[in-house]
Every structure is written in structure tokens, then in C-alpha cells.
Structure 1
Amino acid sequence: MLRKTIKNIAVLDLQNFTAEALRRIKKIDGCAIILISKNASEEWKNVYANIKIQNVAQIIETDAHKHSVLNGVVTLNDSNVTDDCIYVINGIAVLETVKKIPDLCVNGIIFKRKMSQYNISLLNGRSVELDDEVTIKAYMNVVEIDSDTVRNFDNNTCVVAGNIIDIKNDVTEQMLTDKKITFAAGNKVECNKNISGYVKANSIAGNKITEKNE
């Protein structure tokens, strides 16, 4: 029987593979995540054990029969979370569920309401809990925040961006303090020196918080 190599797949879901199908796999190489069933048979496990596995970051046992790969800033709520699915998120997960409890695998940051619950299979990053009354303004990539933007934010707003938050020079510390604005960026937050103390104390960045050159 000719056996094959599976290479360079971000998420390899083996849950629907039969033991016979697994016998056709010689090697798995260069996958970020392999999903296998918690309820796999002994025959399945024995065949799987004979597959050579290398350069795989994570092997996850799950009882979810579906998976969804999402990138950037992802908001999950009761209307878009489905049962029996594991969510693989690369970036920022904003969790606003009330009744649903999603299964998560996150490379990045989770922002969750106090009321929200989740099951975590993998977290490379951190989880941050927000009060239920915080307004979350989420932007997929880069967002520029000027004084007009701040004035139009609700009080107690958390600004979330998948890449960069660029705070313009006309934004003052008093504006941010009055509105209780916080920031979270997947990459970095940029601001001028006059407000850097406030921003550094009230921001999360995947990379860094930097002062812009005047």
C-alpha cells in the first residue's frame, strides 16, 4: 500500500479519518495543530501511533466534530457560536457570549466579558476580563484615533485593533481620562510623549507601546 505524507497544513482535523484511512498516512510534517477525537477507538489510536509526526506545534484532543479557523479580530456571541465546533483564532478574540460556551484555541489575546465563559484547548497569549458595561470598539487591522474619535466614544470604551492603534497628537491625557479609554492592539500602540504615561498604564500590546517621534 502506497503511504503518503501530509505537509504544511495549518489545522489538520483527523477526527473523521477512519483507522483504514490513517493507515495510508506515513508522516505528518509542518502542521500548526492536529485535532484528534477524545473518543477514538483503540484501533484508531494504535494506527495513529505508527504515524511519524514532526514539526507540529500542538496536538489537541477534542469532542467537537467541526472546526473554524479565524484570523484578525474576531467577535463571538450567542448568535454566531455553534455547538460542536472548536474555534481556532489567530489574533484577538472578543468574547461576548451569554449562554453559549465556545471551545477555543487562541494564538493571541482573549477579551471576555465577566458573564462570558469558554473552554480553552490552547492559549498562546493571554486572557483579559472586561466589565460587562465596557464598550468594545473592534478594528480588524490599523486604526487612527484623533480627538474627534475620542469625543465620539462612549465612556469606558476599550479600543481593540488586530494590528496597530495610532493615537494622533491632538489627543490629550485629559480626554482619555475623562472618557476612561483603554487600548489593546495585536501588534503595537503608538502615541506621543505627552500621553505615553496614560497609554502605557492602560494598554495591552502584542508587540510594544511606542512614543512617536515629534
Structure 2
Amino acid sequence: MKKTNPKILVFGTGGHAKSVIRIIEAEGKWDIFGLLADPGLQKEDIDILGYKIVGYRNDISHLQEAKIMSCFVAIGDNQLRAKITEDLISKGFKIATIAHPAANVMNNSPIGHGTMIHAQAVIGADSKIGKGTIISALTCIGHDSNIGDYCHITPGVLLGGNVTIGDFSFLGLGSAVLPGVKIGKNVQVAANSVVNKDQEDNVIVAGNPARVIKRTWSK
């Protein structure tokens, strides 16, 4: 008899949703029921890799009746992903965690709900990944590191051991953080930068070695 997987909804209709869909399909733990979106999108106009909108965030009664209340939020923007995730949780949704089978995650590394881990990502021993975080392909996170909530670690990022990344931070393509360095909350690290010392909250850093080029305001 063919195994029946639980149903899951994917919130999002953009490019990031395509990556999420392919990871869910590869993992094989869920069957995608369809897409969940915000009001204003037309059902007939949306078809992402064969999946269509089956509901909207402000009207999920028919999904509740069908007991389809597992969801993954496929939104690239850190702040918006957090807002939508918390809203869906308040409506009774269970937020899944997904990891591509080709990712290498040590068994003793806890992963928060709503986090996605792409193929060929490596997460070292005793590292912790917060909720709602994106770990992209070809990323290497060293042992005993701590990645906060709603971060985005883009492809090719290298983190040494004992690195700390604060909530809502973004690490650009090919950037590196040396062992033991602590990066604050809502920090943006430019592509190909090398961070060799601690960084405070709400800054944009760039270069090798990385230096503060702008201070930002966090929502």
C-alpha cells in the first residue's frame, strides 16, 4: 500500500516558493496540498510548479474544516516572513521545518520551526538554528554556532566554529565569518565580505576585513 503523507500548504507564490516546493518534494515527508497567499491574487493566474492557490490568509475556514493546518512560509524577506509566520501560528497553523536530503545536518543540532535547509548545506555539531531561518545551498556552518531567528544565510557563506548570528540578519553571497565572532541583530553582511570581529546590531558591513558602511533602523 502506498504511504500517505500529511498535507502541507506553502505560503508564497514567488521565486522562493519554488525552492521550498522542490525541497518538500525531495524530502518526501509531506504532500503539498496547494499554495496559501494574501488576498488580491487571482487563483486562475497563479500556477507555481503545478500548484495553485487553495486559500488566503484571511479566510482559512475551509482548510480548517479539511484539517489541513500545516504550513511552510516561503517568503524571502526576513521581517515579512516573521510577521506572516506569527500570524499563521495565531490562526492555528503548525509551521513545518524542511531540509533537503542532500543537506548534512548533525543529529545534535536543533533546528527551529519554519526553517529551511537547502541541498549541500553543512551544519556542524552542536550548532543551533533558530526559527524561520533560510540556510541556502553550499553554506557551511561550523560547530557550536548559534544562528538566530528569521535570518537569511545565502549561498556559499562560510561560518567558523562558535559563531553567533543575531535575529533578522542577512549574510550575502560568499561571505565569511571567522571563528568566535558575534554578529548582532538585523545586520547585513555584503557579498564576499570577511567578518573578523564582533559587529553591533543594525549595521551594514562590507569588505575584507568587513567594516561598518551604514547604520540602519530596525523595525
Q: Verify same fold: TM over 0.5.
A: no
- TM-score, structure 1 length as denominator? 0.29
Select the structure of larger CA radius of gyration. 1
Which protein has the bigger strand share? 1
